[in-house]
C-alpha cells in the first residue's frame, strides 16, 4: 500500500490480525476522519480490543490445560490405587491422549477387573 493513512485505517477496522491478509476481493470502506488524532484514538481502541480478546482466549486455553492435567492426575491416582504401579507404556499412552480418551478411561477404571480392561475398550 502506498498510503500510510489507508494502511492504518485498514488495521483499525480489521476484526482480527488474520483479516489483515491482502486479498484482491477485500474492499475497504474508509470512515470519515477529521484529523490524525481521531485516527490514533480509533487505532488505540482497536488494539485494546484485540489485547482483551487475546487475553481472554489465553485464559480459556490455560484453564482447559489445567482441567486436562487434573483429569490425567485423577486417572493416574485411580489406576495406582486399584492396580499398583502403572507400567511406563501406560503412562506414555495417558500423557499423549486427548481429554475424551482420558475421561473414558477414568470411567472404565472404576469398574475394571484388570488394568488392560481399561485401555482395550
> What pLDDT does 27 receive?
58
> What pLDDT does 57 receive?
84
Q: pLDDT of the chain along its 121 residues, tens only? A: 456 677 667 766 776 655 555 555 555 555 666 777 777 777 788 888 888 888 888 888 888 888 888 899 999 999 999 999 999 999 899 988 888 999 999 999 988 998 988 987 5
Helix or strand (DSSP H, E) at 20: none
- Residue 7 corresponds to which cell in the numbers above? 494502511
C-alpha–C-alpha distance, residues 44 and 4, integer Å: 16
Answer yes or no: pTM beyond 0.85.
Answer: no
C-alpha–C-alpha distance, residues 70 and 16, integer Å: 32
> What pLDDT does 56 receive?
83
- The parent domain of residue 18 ranges over 4-120
CB 85 within 8 A of CB 115: no
Q: State how many domains the chain has.
A: 1
Q: CA distances (Å), 65 to each of 50, 69, 95, in order?
A: 22, 6, 13
Cβ atoms < 10 Å from Cβ of 98: 9
- Residue 72 corresponds to which cell in the numbers above? 490425567
Amino acid at each position: 500500500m502506498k498510503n500510510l493513512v489507508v494502511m492504518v485505517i485498514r488495521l483499525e477496522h480489521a476484526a482480527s490480525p488474520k483479516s489483515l491478509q491482502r486479498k484482491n476481493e477485500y474492499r475497504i470502506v474508509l470512515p470519515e476522519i477529521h484529523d490524525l488524532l481521531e485516527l490514533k484514538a480509533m487505532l488505540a481502541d482497536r488494539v485494546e480490543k484485540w489485547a482483551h480478546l487475546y487475553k481472554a482466549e489465553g485464559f480459556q486455553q490455560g484453564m482447559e490445560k489445567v482441567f486436562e492435567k487434573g483429569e490425567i492426575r485423577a486417572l493416574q491416582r485411580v489406576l495406582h490405587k486399584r492396580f499398583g504401579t502403572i507400567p511406563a507404556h501406560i503412562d506414555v499412552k495417558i500423557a499423549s491422549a486427548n481429554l475424551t480418551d482420558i475421561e473414558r478411561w477414568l470411567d472404565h477404571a472404576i469398574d475394571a477387573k484388570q488394568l488392560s480392561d481399561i485401555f482395550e475398550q
